[in-house]
Amino acid sequence: MKPQSPVHLRVGPAGIGAEWIPGESLFTALRRQGWLVGSACRGEGICGRCGLEVKDPAGGLEPSGDQERRVKVANQVPDEWRLSCLLICPAQLPDTTVIQVHSPAW
Ligand code: FES
């Protein structure tokens, strides 16, 4: 069986390349590669501090679920942002997919 390819990320204002492994949260992927992502709940999906701007031009990512929407509202995270600890890399995305990720803190 062919291993699933990582998804290509462009991170921060300079668009630095990073990889996101299918099944991995965006929070874990970014921290694994040295990016500082806010958190007060260690990626449990409670605090809302891991919110990031995520641009997915191809639209392959799942939309926010109920928990993510609730936590964003409770913590005044912009609705169009994503909670990176709750955003899991899909198993199937086209090889050409490039997702842009940004935080105002970077
Ligand atoms: S790290 Fe707390 S909600 Fe994501």
pLDDT digits (tens, 9 = 90+) for 37-94: 999 999 999 999 999 999 999 899 999 999 999 999 999 999 999 999 999 999 988 8
Nearest residue by C-alpha to atom 1 in ligand 1:
43
Of 35, 50, 67, 103, best ligand 1 pocket probe by most atoms within 8 Å of the beta carbon: 50
- Residue 2 domain flag: yes
- Residue 84 domain flag: yes
pLDDT of residue 77: 97
- Residue 98 domain flag: yes
- If one counts the domains in the chain, the total is 1
- Residue 86 domain flag: yes
Please state, in angstroms and rounded to a whole number, the distance separating the CA atoms of residues 54 and 10: 10
- Residue 21 domain flag: no
- Residue 3 domain flag: yes
- Residue 96 domain flag: yes
Note whether 49 and 86 are within 8 A (CB): no
**Cα 22 to chain center, whole Å?**
12
Q: CA angle 104-68-101, nearest 5°?
A: 30
Global model pTM greater than 0.75 = yes
Range of the domain at 7: 1-13+80-106
* Ligand 1 centroid, distance to 72 Cα (angstroms): 10
pLDDT of residue 92: 83
List the beta strands (DSSP E) in the chain: 7-11, 16-20, 51-55, 82-83, 98-102
1 has pLDDT over 80: no
- Residue 35 domain flag: no
| 2-41 pLDDT tens trace | 567 899 999 999 999 999 999 999 999 999 999 999 999 9
**Cα 2 to chain center, whole Å?**
24
Higher pLDDT, 93 or 102: 102
